[in-house]
Amino acid sequence: MSIRKVILLLGVLGLSTACTSMRAPSESDPLEGFNRSVDGFNQVVDKAVVKPLAQGYDKVTPPEIKTVIGNFFSNLDDISVAVNNLLQGKPKAAGSDITRFALNTTIGIVGLADVATELGFQKNDEDFGQTLGVWGMGSGPYLVLPLLGPSTLRDAPARFVDAPLDPLYHYDNVRVRNSLLVVNVVNTRARLLPATDLVERVALDQYAFVRDAYLKRRASLVRDGAPDPNEQSYEDFEEESRSDTPVSFPPFKAALVQLETSSASLNTQPDSNSSIGLPTDLQQSERAKSGLGLVN
């Protein structure tokens, strides 16, 4: 994903958040007071401990090493992804996940290299929270967990189902296991530094920004990326804007057009780590933070 695309994405979300954060607490966030308190605690921990560690790690660790470490933990995650694809009634996708794990564990040397993607077996993103969503369960209220961050009333307990599917959960050497989990958290946080720094600059209300982005992303994952039938697409807006009929659309739609026009003058190049991609990094962030719950 190019820097320009990331800037557009975060910019639009930030403008959307600016419009919505002035309203009363969202219907999807009846626990906003509690959630903001927990989010404030998480921010303190991040700024005092996790982010400084990630910044130091980022300075001394080559991008290739960070990618290799990310590949290792992503490979372990494919087991849980495969199980959830089976539970969602998607055997073909589950077969692809199992093939990925087999290829990367053997040819890719315990997952250090992602040879499966090169061979056409793309990484899937599934967890038990999504499985419950596919089964028809609503997400429930938005919920911020201490240290673990954004979740919902549906997704939070679902973590306990996914945890035993992680091979590290069954590793007997607690010291080694916990060390690996810390490496995963710091490595993931380091790879997310550019995105989170940009969020801090463009979001008027970081809490609302993260909440709205998280809920939209989770809903999209449950639909496997299919468009939300209840939401007007950007293509619909473009089509209507060409007609003579007056169009009513959310403010951030107009902002998107303005951002795309103004960003054309940006002399930005694609991110050198575009193969990592923002969505994958966000996925890894959730996996890494979930791993904290495995520490004994």
pLDDT mean across residues, the chain: 81
Find the mean pLDDT for residues 110-126.
98
How far is it, in rounded angstroms, from Cα 213 to Cα 201?
16
The crossing angle, in degrees rounded to 10, of helices 174-191 and 193-202 is 50
User: Residue 78's CB: how many other CB atoms inside 10 A?
Assistant: 24
pLDDT the model gives residue 282? 52
How far is it, in rounded angstroms, from Cα 150 to Cα 287?
12
pLDDT the model gives residue 31? 97
State the pLDDT confidence band at 206, using cuts at 50, 70 and 90.
very high
Structure-block tokens of residue 199: 């969020």
Whether 266 has a pLDDT exceeding 50, the answer reads no
- In the chain, DSSP finds a helix count (H) and a strand count (E) of 14, 2
pLDDT the model gives residue 65? 97
pLDDT per position as a tens digit, 232-252: 665 655 555 554 444 433 443
pLDDT the model gives residue 28? 85
Find the mean pLDDT for residues 121-129.
98
- Which range (174-183, 199-208, 235-244) has the least confidence? 235-244
State the pLDDT confidence band at 286, using cuts at 50, 70 and 90.
low
The crossing angle, in degrees rounded to 10, of helices 278-291 and 174-191 is 150
How far is it, in rounded angstroms, from Cα 88 to Cα 94?
10
Find the mean pLDDT for residues 105-133.
98
**108 touches 116 (CB < 8 A):** yes
**199 touches 10 (CB < 8 A):** yes
pLDDT the model gives residue 243? 47
